[in-house]
Structure 1
C-alpha cells in the first residue's frame, strides 16, 4: 500500500476506545478520531483511506461518505452490511465483523429458547401477582428438539453447536446448499417437523419478508420463532396474527419497525419475548469486533481481499 501511513478514521465514543489500542498495533497506520454525530469532517479527517463506523448506531456516519475523496475501505463492526451496502461506492471495499458476534448472539438465542420452553415469561407474570404457580403452567425441554436454523454463517453455526450440548438436533440452511447444509430453495419442504426456527440470516433482497404467512403457517403448532437476523426478514403482521391465535410463540431481538412503537401489537402478545436489538450487547463484544476489524484491515493492507468483504454498490 506504499510507504505512507494509512489513515484510519475511527469513532471517539466510549465503546470505541478499546479499538484505538487494537488498531494502533497495526503497522503502517495512523488513527484519526472523529465524532460520528458530526456533519462535517476536518481537512485532516477527510484524508482518511479507511472509515470505521462506531460500535453503536453504526449507520450515523453514512452521510460523511461524500466528504472522503480518498476512501478505499469501510470496515464495519456489525455482522451484516445491509445498512451500508447501497451507499458505499462499488470501488470502495466494504467488510464486516462477521464472526465477532457468534458467541454473544448464540448465547442470547439459547437463553431465549430456554426461557420460552421453561415458561419464564409466564412464571414472572405469576410472580408479579404473588401466585405460587405449581401445576399452573406447562414447561418443556430442549432435549430432543429439532431446530431449523436459517443462516449457516458464523452465528448460525455457533447456535447449532451450542444447541447440541442440550441434546437438540439442528438443520442448517444457507443461500446455497453444501455438504450438511440445505439451500434456501428447499425451505418450504423442511419447515414442518421443527419445534424451533432460528433466523440468523442477513437481510438481502432474497431474505426480505422470507418469513411470511406461508412460512409461518408451515411451522408446527406450538413452535417458537427466534429472530436475531433483521426485523425485515419477518412479515410482522403475519407473525402478530399467529401469535394472537396462540398457535406460535416468538423470541425477537429485531423487529420491523425498529424501534418498536410503544403502541405496537407485538408488545401485548403473551407468546412473544422481545429484546431491543441487544443480543450482542454484553461486556467484551466491542473488543471482539475490533479484533476482527483489525484482521480485515491487515489483510487489505497486504493487498489481499478481506475475507469478510461483501458485494455492494
Structure 2
C-alpha cells in the first residue's frame, strides 16, 4: 500500500482512495513517517524551497509530487537528484481566481490613490486629490494562461482594451495573443502592465531596464507573477522619481528587506505575496489533490504535469 504525505493544512480531507496510506506534515515538525516509503508527496504550501525539499533526499521511492503552487521554481532540479523518475505536477488554475482578484485590487488601489489616502488617514489629515481611473484604459497582460485570462475576466466591467501576451503568438476566443517578442512596442501603448507569467530562464528579468524605459510616463506595473520577472534595481530607477508606478505582490528579493528603498518609493504599493491566499483556495486545492490521488491509485496519467 503506497504512502502519501499531505499538508497539515488539509484538516478535513475526505473521499480519498482507501488503497493508499496517508500522513500529514506541516513542514516544521518531525517527519510523520519514514520518507523512504513515500510514493506521492504533496508538500506544505510554503514559499521556502528548503522546507519543501527537506525530506526529498530520503524519498527514494517517490513516484509523484503534487506542488500546491502554480509556479514550480527549482522543484524540477531537486527531483532530478533522486534515483528514479518522479512526475512533478503543479496547481495550475487553482490560484487564478484569488490572485486575479488581488491584481484588480492592486490596480485600483494604485490608480485611485488608496495608499496615499491611507497615509493621510493615519495622520488624520483630510487631503482631497484627484487620481486616475481604470475605465477605458489599455491594460497589457503578460502571460496569458489561467491567471491572465482570469485578470481579463475581472477587467471586463471597466471597458478596458486588453492586450494579451504569451510566449508565442496565437489566436484566442477573445482575440489575438501576441508573442513576447513584441513586448517593447506593446508596453509603449499600455497604461497598465500586469505580469502573470511563470518564472523561467526566459522570463527572469524579462522586465529589465531597457523594457522599463519604453513604458509611457505614469504607467503602472503590476506584478502578481514572480519577483524575479522584474529587475528590481531597474524598477527602482524608474519609480524613485515617480515616472512609473508599481503595485507588487511579489518582489526580488523576497521577503523584501526592511531597509529596501522600494518600501518608501512614491507610487509603489506592496503586498507580501498573498495573492492566492484566501479561504476559497483550499477547497480548490483539495479537489485537485483528490483527483490526482484517484488517478495515481488507478495508475492513470496525472494532470498538470510540468516535469519528470
Q: Same fold (TM over 0.5)?
A: yes
Unaligned runs of 5+ in 2: none
Is 269-278 or 283-292 further displaced after alignment? 283-292
Distance 1:29 1:224, change over 3 A: same
1:165 to 157, 160, 164: 157
Number of residues paired by the alignment? 300
1:225 to 217, 221, 231: 221
Q: Structure 1 residue 33: deviation in Å?
A: 2.4
Q: Structure 1 residue 39: deviation in Å?
A: 6.5
Q: Partner of 1:56 in structure 2? A: 46
1:261 to 257, 260, 264: 257
TM-score, normalising length: structure 1: 0.90
Q: What is the CA deviation profile of residues 120-145 of structure 1, one whole-angstrom value per residue up to 9, with x for unaligned ones?
A: 111112222332223xx222221101
Contact 1:16 1:54 (8 Å CA) reproduced = no
Q: Partner of 2:100 in structure 1? A: 106
Q: Structure 1 residue 264: deviation in Å?
A: 0.4
Is 147-156 or 162-171 further displaced after alignment? 162-171
Is 174-183 or 196-205 further displaced after alignment? 174-183
Q: Structure 1 residue 88: deviation in Å?
A: 1.1
Distance 1:28 1:106, change over 3 A: same
The Cα RMSD (Å) is: 1.9
Unaligned runs of 5+ in 1: none
Q: What is the CA deviation profile of residues 227-262 of structure 1, one whole-angstrom value per residue up to 9, with x for unaligned ones?
A: 011111100011011001211000001001111110
SS in 1 for 2:88: strand
Distance 1:192 1:40, change over 3 A: same
Q: Take 2:19 and 2:189, find their aligned partners in 1: how far apart are those partners?
A: 54
1:32 to 23, 33, 39: 23
Is 61-70 or 284-293 further displaced after alignment? 284-293
Distance 1:148 1:61, change over 3 A: same
Are residue 17 (structure 1) and residue 28 (structure 2) matched?
A: no
Q: Take 1:122 and 1:47, find their aligned partners in 2: how far apart are those partners?
A: 54
Contact 1:52 1:77 (8 Å CA) reproduced = yes
Q: What is the CA deviation profile of residues 107-159 of structure 1, one whole-angstrom value per residue up to 9, with x for unaligned ones?
A: 0011110111111111112222332223xx22222110111111111111100
Distance 1:297 1:259, change over 3 A: same
SS in 1 for 2:56: helix
Distance 1:234 1:57, change over 3 A: closer
1:272 to 264, 268, 271: 268
SS in 2 for 1:87: helix
Q: Partner of 1:155 in structure 2? A: 147
Q: What is the CA deviation profile of residues 254-299 of structure 1, one whole-angstrom value per residue up to 9, with x for unaligned ones?
A: 0011111100011010210001111112213122222222223334
1:76 to 67, 92, 100: 67
Q: Structure 1 residue 165: deviation in Å?
A: 1.9
Q: Structure 1 residue 37: deviation in Å?
A: 2.5
Distance 1:58 1:75, change over 3 A: farther
TM-score, normalising length: structure 2: 0.91
Q: Take 2:48 and 2:258, find their aligned partners in 1: how far apart are those partners?
A: 24
Q: Take 2:152 and 2:111, find their aligned partners in 1: how far apart are those partners?
A: 17
Q: Partner of 2:200 in structure 1? A: 204
Contact 1:221 1:248 (8 Å CA) reproduced = yes
Q: Structure 1 residue 91: deviation in Å?
A: 1.5
